[in-house]
Structure 1
Amino acid sequence: MPRRTSYQPGVPCWVDCITPDLTGAQRFYGDLFGWEFVDEGGDYRLVTLDGELIGGLGTAPTGRWGGAAWNVYLATKDADRTRADVEDGGGTVVMGPVPAGEDGRLFLAVDPQGAPVGFWEGHHAQGVVLADEVGAVCGHDLVVPRADAAERFYGGLFGFRTGRHPAGAADGGGPVTLDLHGTARAGLVEDPAARPGWIPYIGVDDLVTAEADALAAGARPMGRPTESRTVLRDPWGAVFGMTTPSSEI
């Protein structure tokens, strides 16, 4: 059972889904992935699998930032400094930093290409504890119009550089990656026609069956699936992916 005990700055360390229908989303994701939900009080739930922490689920606020979305958070040791760096790099901070209970602080931003992204300054070393197995987060993609602009922004924040996954790996094409200190931390998808954003991937045993179950429960497909990955919108519009747990990104 892979467990994460620490995250270096810049590494995706937390995911949560913000939705207008908390009850319906718990049913959808609980049935699909076997998740359980711990009431944190108010309108936020911790998501667990076999008792291990894997993410969060909360009610969307009303107003401009309402609606459904999956959020990916990057680890930082200093939220105030990272906020300043985000703004210096051309990003826009839309909330925070604000306290997140007793566990740390977070803030939300939009990068210069329009991709929403969160940042998490934890009071503990770990964020997501269980990862890289069925039912847990097994990777992330950053979808942007220009890969070079993403490297410039995230490189300025944490030192990311673009790389290429080894040929013959998942999907066989050697996709471009966002690398930190030589390790791929996310896929980097250059697509000028797509809406910019970070996409978390959840591990499944059987991708065909899992996708069919999600569609039957009201999800919608986003493009063509591959042999190892598919991207969907949940019934409320939040974008997430599913994959077989074979990749480190």
Structure 2
Amino acid sequence: MAVPAEGTPCWVDAMFTDPEGARTFYGEVLGWTFGESASEFGDYTEAYANGRAVAAVVPPMPGQDTRSAWCLYFASPDAAATAEKIRAAGGEVLMEPMRVGDFGTMVLARDPGGVTFGVWQAGSHEGFGTTGEPGAYCWAEIYTRDPGAADRFFPAVFPYRGRRMVEESMDFKVFDIDDDIVLGRMAMTKEFPPEVPPYINVYFAVADCDAAVAKATELGGTVECGPMDTPFGRFATLTDPQGAAFSVINLQAAKGDLPAWSEES
């Protein structure tokens, strides 16, 4: 695949205290296979769907006590310049631009509402080998308790245009790059316990949502929402045995009318 446009989600990874357990869980639920661990890069291990790179898992660094969570990376032609935009927009750079061999340059950051994300300037590793296919990334949504801050911050850092869903019962917005919808933004309601931090929920495509949910619960995962039918597909939100939230969706099982959107803002 070609290097994605600036601001496009291009990669996901997660830290697990039990990486072998994570490989077993996601291998069973999403059909992933795994490459060799790169010891020179902290035992970083890529996951594959049908032979194409779709994600990675890695153990925490020694002494690091990190809650397991999927981290979404956004493409950038210049990671250092994006880091400066993050600061200028009121965000926090958690890790300064760091070159990762000849693979590329990464940044870790947090928006003003507490949402952690990554930035990736591609080198030899351009990002996802495929998207939208079973086992691969297909969508993501920012879950935040400060939607106004997210709505200001992300279009200031990336070339986004926002559109709000015309549905009074839900504060949901999408960000576009040109004619492509690339990211959602959902306001967290009181239904979310206060101990749940703001985060980006990553969706992986599956051929059968219910079967994926059944396998996940069999292996110790927890169902947080669904399965349910939507105009975008049948989906469910899960938490894996190590506490990382994610969603699975069958894009071929869409039901109902697509929502209306406000004018771009």
The TM-score with structure 1 as length reference comes to 0.88
Q: Aligned residue for 2:52?
A: 52
Higher normalized contact order (CA 8 Å, seq sep 6+, divided by chain length):
1
* 2:202 alignment partner in structure 1: 200
Of residues 226, 237, 240, the one that matches 2:246 is: 240
Corresponding letter in the other structure for 2:118: G
Q: Which amino acid aligns with 1:103?
A: F
Alpha-carbon distance between aligned partners in 2 of 1:226 and 1:7, rounded to the nearest angstrom = 31
**1:11 and 2:8 correspond:** yes
Judge which range, 211-220 or 178-187, deviates more.
178-187
Cα distance in 1, alignment partners of residues 109 and 150 from structure 2: 14
Find out whether 1:156 has 2:162 as its counterpart.
no
CA contact (8 A) 1:7 1:125 kept: no
Secondary structure of residue in 2 paired with 1:131: coil
Question: Cα distance 1:236–1:126, how it changes in 2: closer, same or farther (>3 A)?
Answer: same
Taking a change above 3 Å as real, the CA distance of residues 88 and 192 of structure 1, as seen in their structure-2 partners, is: farther
Aligned counterparts of 2:64 and 2:81: Cα–Cα separation in 1 = 26
Q: In the alignment, is residue 89 of structure 1 matched against residue 113 of structure 2?
A: no
Residue 192 of structure 1: how far off its partner (Å): 4.2
Following superposition of structure 1 onto structure 2, how do residues 157-172 of structure 1 map, counting pairs within 5 Å?
157-164=157-164
Supply the distance in 2 between the matched residues of 1:100 and 1:156 (Cα, whole angstroms).
26
Partner of 2:261: none
Deviation beyond 4 Å, 4+ runs, structure 1:
62-65, 164-167
RMSD: 2.3
Specify the alignment match of 2:103 in structure 1.
103
Aligned residues: 239
Distance 1:137 1:191 in 2: 22
Q: Is the 8 A contact 1:71 1:117 kept in 2?
A: yes
Structure 1 residues 174 and 205: alpha-carbon distance in aligned structure 2, compared to 1, 3 A threshold: farther
CA distance in 2, matches of 1:174, 1:148: 10
Which residue of the partner structure matches residue 27 of structure 2?
Answer: 30
* Residues in 2 aligned to 1:226 and 1:147: alpha-carbon distance in whole angstroms: 25
Amino acid corresponding to residue 119 of structure 1 in structure 2? V
Rounded to whole Å, the distance in 2 between the matches of 1:13 and 1:234 is 22
Alpha-carbon distance in structure 2 between the residues aligned to 1:64 and 1:90: 26
Cα pair 1:147 1:188 within 8 Å, conserved:
yes
Deviations along 1:155-193, whole A, 9 cap, x unmatched? 1011222225799xxxxx995312222421012111144
| Structure number with larger C-alpha Rg | 2
Q: Does 1:186 align with 2:183?
A: yes
- TM-score, normalization: structure 2? 0.83
Q: Which moved more, 1:212-221 or 1:181-190?
A: 181-190
Gaps of 5+ in 2: 255-265
The SS at the match of 2:133 is coil
Distance 1:123 1:166 in 2: 40
The answer as to whether partners of 2:71 and 2:116 remain within 8 angstroms in 1 is yes
Distance in 1, matches of 2:249 and 2:111, equals 26
